[in-house]
Amino acid sequence: MEWVVNGYKIEPGANLMGADLIIAGLTRANLKGANLMGANLEGAVLAAANLRNANLRNANLRNAELWDVDLRDVDLTNADLEDATLYGANLKGANLTRAIMPDGTIHD
């Protein structure tokens, strides 16, 4: 099954660097290993999505719904997660260096 959202092909390993996916519906999307560096995912719904090993450096995830998301080994350096919902998200091995956390604090 192929997904196209806002003109971007959603698939494992996709190059979505700088993509505008604001308020995108990506429930159960498989973006394992995808390059989402600098992508705008503000308000996106990524419930139960697979983002394992994805590059989310400098990504905007403000107000994103990330319930039960696989974020293992994801690079979230400088990502903005302010007001994001991370209930049940698996962040094992994720790089959160300088990421803005849901409560607005900056992770060391």
In the chain, the number of structural domains is 1
What is the SS3 assignment for the chain? CCEEECCEEECCCCECCCCECCCCECCCCECCCCECCCCECCCCECCCCECCCCECCCCECCCCECCCCECCCCECCCCECCCCECCCCECCCCECCCCECCCCCECC
Assign 48 a pLDDT band (cuts: 50, 70, 90): very high
Identify the pLDDT of residue 108. 84
| Residue in 7, 54, 8 with CA at minimum distance from that of residue 35 | 54
- Between CA 7 and CA 10 the distance in angstroms is 9
pTM score of the predicted model: 0.95
Residues 66-97 have pLDDT tens digits of 999 999 999 999 999 999 999 999 999 999 99
Domain of 44 in residue numbering reads as 1-108
Written as one letter, the residue type at 52 is R
Domain with residue 12: its CATH number is 2.160.20.80
